[in-house]
Amino acid sequence: MADIIWITVAALAIGYGFGSIPFGLLLTRLGGLGDIRTLGSGNIGATNVLRTGNKTIALLTLLLDMAKGAGPVLLAIHFSPDNTLPYAVLGVGAGAVIGHVFPLWLRFKGGKGVATLFGVVAGLCWPGALLALATWLLSAIAFRMSSAAALVALIATPTYVWWFYDKITAGVVLALAILVIARHRENISRLIQGNEPRIEFSKKDAAE
């Protein structure tokens, strides 16, 4: 039992280390775009990076934020002994999301965690991740709001994990999804008030 506790704690710490790398901040600085925390929502995630107008850096931020969730999970699956595998995988996945949301290096003011959580799910069970992505895309088309699409996908994702993986893992993903949803409280408030920014799919949308 003591070994399992130490392995879980170590996995949390390793996952936290990966998750707390602020790719959005680093990439925007390297790209000469300044400090992303002074723009838009002040968030370090890909959505706010996109507000710089640099789609390439925004896409890289998205992919790297997903990778820092998927990578540690895949490493844990590959290297952990069978008797400690679930604890290592869940610990490292949870740590990655917590690290992204509350990075020590940025005084615990990080991103919202959507991409990193979806990365964790991709590492656990890619069919569940594909369904989560499909849910986001369909919701984005229906609502034309990124935050609304993310919230719908976050609510649905634990069910996908339960279906393709197991109930315990789905429970952990549910807890992480609740954390990420809580990080969207300002978006939820704007959605209720009806003034959440919409996705511009075309010039016509932008003019509306």
pLDDT of residue 208 exceeding 80: no
For the record, the structure tokens of 129 come out as: 């991740």
CA distance 90 to 103: 19
Residues 128-144 have a mean pLDDT of 94
Per-residue confidence (pLDDT) for residue 206, from 0 to 100: 37
CA distance 168 to 93: 13
pTM of this structure: 0.91
CA distance 208 to 196: 14
pLDDT of residue 145 exceeding 60: yes
Name the nearest CA neighbour of 181 among 103, 78, 101: 101
Nearest 5 degrees, angle CA 99-CA 58-CA 77? 40
User: 205 falls in which pLDDT band (50, 70, 90)?
Assistant: very low
